[in-house]
């Protein structure tokens, strides 16, 4: 991810928007450092939630018996 930069105008004093004083005030808002870490954290939490949902689904008796039947048929092909 590229870091966003703002070009300061060449004229004006530093207390007016034309002079670049606004850059210091907006720097924390425009800084994107750490955003990749936050994105990884959100993706990890989504993966954990999905894994938890799969565990709940796979613990059901119907799903367990269906999986056992599929495995049994796969291992006894040709008998």
pLDDT > 90 fraction of the chain, expressed in percent and rounded: 29
Non-local (6+) Cβ contacts of 26 within 8 A are: 6
pTM over 0.85: no
Residues 23 and 54 reside in one and the same domain = no
**In total, how many domains does the chain have?**
2
Q: What digits encode the pLDDT tens for the residues 25-61?
A: 766 666 677 778 888 999 999 999 999 999 998 888 8
Residues 18 and 49 reside in one and the same domain = no
The number of angstroms, rounded, from the C-alpha of 23 to the middle of its chain's C-alpha atoms is 29
Residues 26 and 44 reside in one and the same domain = no
Residues 50 and 27 reside in one and the same domain = no
Residues 29 and 46 reside in one and the same domain = no
Two structure tokens written together for 6: 């703002």
Residues 26 and 42 reside in one and the same domain = no
Residues 29 and 44 reside in one and the same domain = no
The whole domain housing 67 covers: 37-79
């Amino acid at each position: 991810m590229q870091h966003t930069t703002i070009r300061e105008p060449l004229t004006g004093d530093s207390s007016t928007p034309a002079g670049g004083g606004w850059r210091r005030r907006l720097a924390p808002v425009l800084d994107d450092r750490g955003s990749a870490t936050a994105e990884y954290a959100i993706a990890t939490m989504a993966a954990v939630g999905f894994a938890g949902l799969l565990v709940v689904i796979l613990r059901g008796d119907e799903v367990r018996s269906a999986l056992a039947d599929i495995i049994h048929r796969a291992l006894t092909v040709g008998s």
